[in-house]
Structure 1
Amino acid sequence: MATKRIGDEPAYVLHHYDWSESSLILEMFTRHAGRVALVAKGVKKPSSSFRPVLLPLQPLRVSYGGDADIRTLKSVDWVGGHVMPTGEALLSGYYLNELLMRLLARDDPHERVFDIYAPTVALLASGQNSLLQPALRAFELLLLRELGLLPTLDAQTLSLHALQPEQAYALVPEVGLRRAATDDRYHLSGAQWLALNEAMSEGQPLTALWTLPELASSALRVMLRQLLTYHCGVGALKTRQIMLDLQNL
């Protein structure tokens, strides 16, 4: 629902488009309103006070108003706390933004998604490269769960039979979690899926997940990416393809 005036709202810039010679349309992820579109008038002018602040992957506080689908940015302040991620961490941050752009509808609040996005971005900016992949896997898992796109990880999806720790199970986009077939290249053991499920049930699921060795599994990475691209409705995410191309170089 459109609102006339919002002030001091925690937010991040996800993406931007040209609006005119001097203005931009910003796709922003806010804590209380979800993804919103704002016009930043005159932001491309050298004299604009918004220009050095409206950067992706930076914690901001914004005020905006208007009744239209695209509202007007009134003020923006940098909250501080961390610098812009660099290198692979920067591409990973853009990957998170692309997921939110594709999976979140405008004006649909997702406070819990915001509360996993913000610390994940801060971790990407921390320079702890060893936690980069665990951070992405944890975000993917929790994002899918919060959007209702992740099946329960303690039972087979169609039969509801409990997982057996020693058996292998595959996460398949069309059917959910099922016992791995002989031609399934990617799968985890029941014990691994149960460990992930238990960590996601903790009071601080991000930190609980970051410590799990299962998040380093290439099989988990592939299965989650397949599930995400299936729900995004695309053959491949742009940022994912860029990362693959850079690795090949």
Structure 2
Amino acid sequence: MATQRVSHEPAYVLHRYDWSESSVILEVFTRHHGRVAIVAKGAKRPSSNFRPVLLPLQPLQLNYGGDAEIRTLKSAEWMGGLVMPTGESLLSGYYVNELLLRLLARDDAHEALFDAYAGVVEVLASDHGVAQAATQAAALRAFELLLLRGVGLLPVLDTETLTLAPLAEDARYALVPEAGLRESAPADASLAGADWLALQEALDDRSPFTATLRCVALLSAGSNAALRSQLRTLLNYHCGVTTLRTRQMMRDLQAL
């Protein structure tokens, strides 16, 4: 197999593992090649050019090569423009990274999802405040929807999954693992058909992340809470866990 060389590739670091006394293995999310494992040789040395660059939630441009499962990093450049998120925003970023690590197969390109990831990272890096916290929550819901759709785990949101019947705007529907979108009792965690229809229209927009973020932000507080609950259940189900590690970390910190 010929050695693959990739140049000037937009990327973000999702996670890093110690590989030796001086090197690390990175899980990176690239725009044109999806999730890729790369070894950064010598990255732990104080004199390494990689050391101040290979940070999570920062836009990078990578050059790497190799024909093995783990490629070799040749160079990395920080593309600038974003400050490192802090506090709950940082934990939210780690949460998004955990979702990608659990749900994305390696070497499977998702260019639209990469753009959505860049969008949510930009929101998380923005100034804090009550209004910004609401925007960040909407950005997370938008990304969760786009991730589920990107990996084929989200049904279309304008019809009932089992019957293929169009949604009634004033009826209530819930998103259920293995059952898709189905009619629900008003007391259950559910959204009105009109809300699901609006979300589907936003997902189909030319700028799906921006449109979906805007759509989620316009939902009522009750609908937003119901959407969050249903997406969390669906994501946990497909990740094979009861609680994601980063979510548990958030709970533990809040308990303190």
Shift of 1:54: 0.3
TM-score, normalising length: structure 1 = 0.95
Partner of 2:126: 126
Amino acid at match of 1:203: R
Question: Aligned pairs, how many?
Answer: 248
163, 175, 179: which one pairs with 2:167? Answer: 163
Gaps of 5+ in 1: none
Query: Which position in structure 2 is the counterpart of 1:142?
Result: 146
> For residue 117 of structure 1, what is the aligned residue in structure 2?
117
Secondary structure of 2:162's aligned partner: coil
C-alpha displacement of 1:78: 0.1
Is 1:170–1:178's contact at 8 Å kept on the other side of the alignment?
A: yes
Q: In structure 2, which of residues 146, 153, 156 is the aligned counterpart of residue 152 of structure 1?
A: 156
Report what 2:195 is aligned to: 192
Partner in structure 2 of residue 60 of structure 1: 60
Q: Deviations over 1:90-140 (max 9, x none)?
A: 111001100000001111111111011011101110123331100000000
Deviating more after overlay: 125-134 vs 15-24: 125-134
- The aligned counterpart of 1:72 is 72
Moved more, 106-115 or 173-182: 173-182
Q: Determine the structure 2 residue equivalent to 1:106.
A: 106
Q: How far is the alpha carbon of 1:206 from its aligned partner?
A: 1.7
* C-alpha displacement of 1:2: 8.3
Tell me, yes or no, if structure 1 residue 214 matches structure 2 residue 233. no
CA contact (8 A) 1:2 1:68 kept: no
Name the SS for the 1:214 alignment partner: coil
**Structure 1 residue 215: Cα displacement:** 7.8
Counterpart-to-counterpart distance in 1, 2:211 and 2:42: 44
Q: Which runs of 5+ in 2 are unaligned?
A: none
Q: 1:228 pairs with 212, 232, 235, which one?
A: 235
| Deviation string, structure 1 residues 163-184 (Cα, Å, up to 9, x no partner) | 11111111101200001147x6
Q: Distance in 1 between matches of 2:248 and 2:3?
A: 37
**TM-score of the aligned structures, taking structure 2 as reference length:** 0.93
Counterpart code for 1:245: D
The letter for the 1-side match of 2:181 is L
Match of 2:245 among 224, 238, 245: 238
Kindly indicate whether the alpha-carbon contact (under 8 Å) linking 1:133 and 1:215 is maintained by their aligned counterparts in 2: no
Is the Cα contact below 8 Å between 1:137 and 1:215 reproduced in 2?
Answer: no
User: Counterparts of 1:208 and 1:115 in 2: how far apart (Å)?
Assistant: 13
RMSD of the alignment, in Å?
Answer: 1.6
TM-superposition CA deviations, 1:44-96 (whole Å, max 9, x none): 11110100000000000000111111111000000001111111111110011
* Aligned-partner Cα distance in 1 for 2:159–2:234: 17
Cα distance between partner residues in 1 of 2:2 and 2:56: 24
The one-letter code of the counterpart of 1:42 is: G
Aligned partners of 1:206 and 1:35: how far apart in 2?
A: 20
Contact 1:200 1:209 in 2 (8 A): yes
| Secondary structure, counterpart of 2:219 in structure 1 | helix
Cα distance in structure 2, aligned partners of 1:186 and 1:2: 53
Work out the CA distance in 1 between the residues paired with 2:13 and 2:2: 19
CA distance in structure 2 between the aligned counterparts of 1:188 and 1:3, rounded to whole angstroms: 50
Residues 105-114 or 213-222, more deviating: 213-222
1:81 paired with 2:81, answer: yes
Q: Percent of aligned pairs with the same residue? A: 65
